[in-house]
Amino acid sequence: MKLVREALMVTTAMVIAAGCQFPLVKPAPANDTPAVQTPAPVPPPPMAGEIAKDNLEVVELLGYFQRVSTLPQDELRKEYNAVGATFQRDKSELQRLRLALLLMVPGASFRDDAKLASLLETAVPRAGDASSPQRQLAWTLQKLNNERMRQVRDEQKRVELMPREDAKRVDELNTQYKKLEGQLADEKRRSDELQKKLDALLSIERDLRSRSPQRRPN
């Protein structure tokens, strides 16, 4: 699905950009005063390390989606069974998103919209705060899936309306057919009347010919 791949590419760019937004330490301006011993650099807070880890995991997930999207159906089914079994043992957000991405592969025979919606509905609030790369990915996947399900519902409604529209067209055709039948019946009656008049005229002409005296030859 082109829409899914484009959205995932945008998410990748956002994740990489978010991972690069760490403050840089500016060097102290040069002056003639004696050098002052600078304190040891403060290590980054744990949150920065967690974000960097999340960034890496999200990039790996997007690469995973690109790879499995090219698998044939039999290998894709094996991958789905393996990831599903792993998720039963390890219900981490990483495994949850991996399973959700598998369910979003276009044309997958095991596609289950209800299961996918449940996975993403659970993943969004559990995948860290609003700035978490995993949460942004989960939110993007949820939005894409909701849009797809809306399109599916619209298509189902259109298909359901088709029999009604077909029945309406049949009724219109039947009405036109009956109208044509009436017109043909009227034309046939007029044709029969004209034929009767013509037959009567021919009969009169024959009677006149039979009554007129025939000339004898000289």
Position 139 in a domain:
yes
Residues of the chain with pLDDT under 50: 15-30, 32, 34, 43, 46
Position 78 in a domain:
yes
CA dihedral 183, 189, 195, 200 (to 10 degrees): -150
Position 70 in a domain:
yes
Residue 124, C-beta contacts closer than 8 angstroms, at least 6 positions apart: 135, 138, 139, 142
| Per-residue pLDDT at 61 | 92
The two tokens of residue 151 are: 């399109």
Distance of alpha carbon 193 from alpha carbon 173, whole angstroms: 30
Distance of alpha carbon 151 from alpha carbon 87, whole angstroms: 29
| Per-residue pLDDT at 81 | 95
Count of structural domains within the chain = 1
Position 27 in a domain:
no
Position 216 in a domain:
no
Cβ proximity of 134 and 32 under 8 Å: no
| Per-residue pLDDT at 82 | 95
What is the identity of the amino acid at 141?
A: L
| Per-residue pLDDT at 43 | 47
User: In this predicted model, what pLDDT tens digit does every residue of 79-126 receive, in sequence order?
Assistant: 999 999 999 999 888 899 999 999 999 888 898 888 998 898 887 766
Among 138, 68, 147, which Cα is nearest to 107's?
68
Distance of alpha carbon 53 from alpha carbon 18, whole angstroms: 12
Q: Is the pTM of this model over 0.85?
A: no
| Per-residue pLDDT at 213 | 62
Position 98 in a domain:
yes
Among 7, 5, 44, which Cα is nearest to 139's?
7
Distance of alpha carbon 118 from alpha carbon 103, whole angstroms: 12
Position 125 in a domain:
yes
| Per-residue pLDDT at 38 | 56
CA dihedral 116, 119, 120, 121 (to 10 degrees): 120
Position 163 in a domain:
no
Cβ proximity of 25 and 41 under 8 Å: yes
| Per-residue pLDDT at 42 | 53
How far apart, in Å, are the Cα atoms of 72 and each of 77, 107, 109, 176?
A: 9, 10, 11, 52
Domain that holds residue 84: 2-21+47-156
Among 2, 1, 19, 15, which Cα is nearest to 139's?
15
